[in-house]
Structure 1
Amino acid sequence: MTIPNIITVLRFLMVPAVVYSLLVGAMMPAFVIFVIAGISDGVDGFIARHYDQQTELGAYLDPIADKLLLVTVFIMLAILNHLPHWLVVLVVSRDILIVIAVILSSVMSQPLDMNPILVSKANTAFQIALAAVVLAELAFGVTFGDLRLILIYLVAALTILSAAAYLRVWIDHMAGSDGR
Structure 2
Amino acid sequence: MRHIPNALCVLRMLLLVPIAVLLLADEYRLTLLLFGFAAATDGLDGFLAKRYGWTSDLGKILDPLADKILLVGVFVILAVLGRVPVWLAGVAVARDVVITIGAILYRRLYGPLQGRPTIVSKLNTLCQILYLLLIVAAGALAGDWQVAATVLGALVFVTTVVSGLDYVITYMRKALDASRRLELPDSGLR
Q: CA deviation at 1:110?
A: 4.6
1:31 pairs with 2:32: yes
2:179 aligns with 178
2:75 aligns with 74
Secondary structure of 1:98 counterpart: helix
User: Which amino acid in structure 1 is aligned with residue 70 of structure 2?
Assistant: L
Moved over 3 A (4+): none
2:84 aligns with 83
Counterpart CA distance in 2 for 1:85 and 1:114 is 31
Secondary structure of 1:57 counterpart: helix
Unaligned 5+ runs, structure 1: none
User: Which amino acid in structure 2 is aligned with residue 3 of structure 1?
Assistant: I
Q: CA deviation at 1:177?
A: 1.3
User: Which amino acid in structure 2 is aligned with residue 34 of structure 1?
Assistant: F
TM-score, structure 1 normalization: 0.93
2:164 aligns with 163
2:9 aligns with 8
When Rg is computed on C-alpha atoms for both structures, the one with the higher figure is 2
CA contact (8 A) 1:123 1:159 kept: yes
CA offsets 1:67-120 (integer angstroms, 9 cap, x no match):
111111111110000100001111100100001111111121254334211111
Q: CA deviation at 1:27?
A: 0.8
User: Which amino acid in structure 2 is aligned with residue 50 of structure 1?
Assistant: R
Counterpart CA distance in 2 for 1:39 and 1:73 is 15
CA offsets 1:110-157 (integer angstroms, 9 cap, x no match):
543342111111111111110010011101132223110011111111
User: Which amino acid in structure 2 is aligned with residue 33 of structure 1?
Assistant: L
User: Which amino acid in structure 1 is aligned with residue 96 of structure 2?
Assistant: D
1:61 aligns with 62
User: Which amino acid in structure 1 is aligned with residue 160 of structure 2?
Assistant: T
Counterpart CA distance in 1 for 2:48 and 2:107 is 31
Counterpart CA distance in 2 for 1:4 and 1:173 is 29
Counterpart CA distance in 2 for 1:109 and 1:159 is 26
2:103 aligns with 102
RMSD (Å) for aligned C-alpha atoms:
1.6
CA contact (8 A) 1:110 1:174 kept: no
1:47 aligns with 48
Counterpart CA distance in 1 for 2:5 and 2:24 is 29
Q: CA deviation at 1:5?
A: 2.0
TM-score, structure 2 normalization: 0.88
CA contact (8 A) 2:110 2:175 kept: no
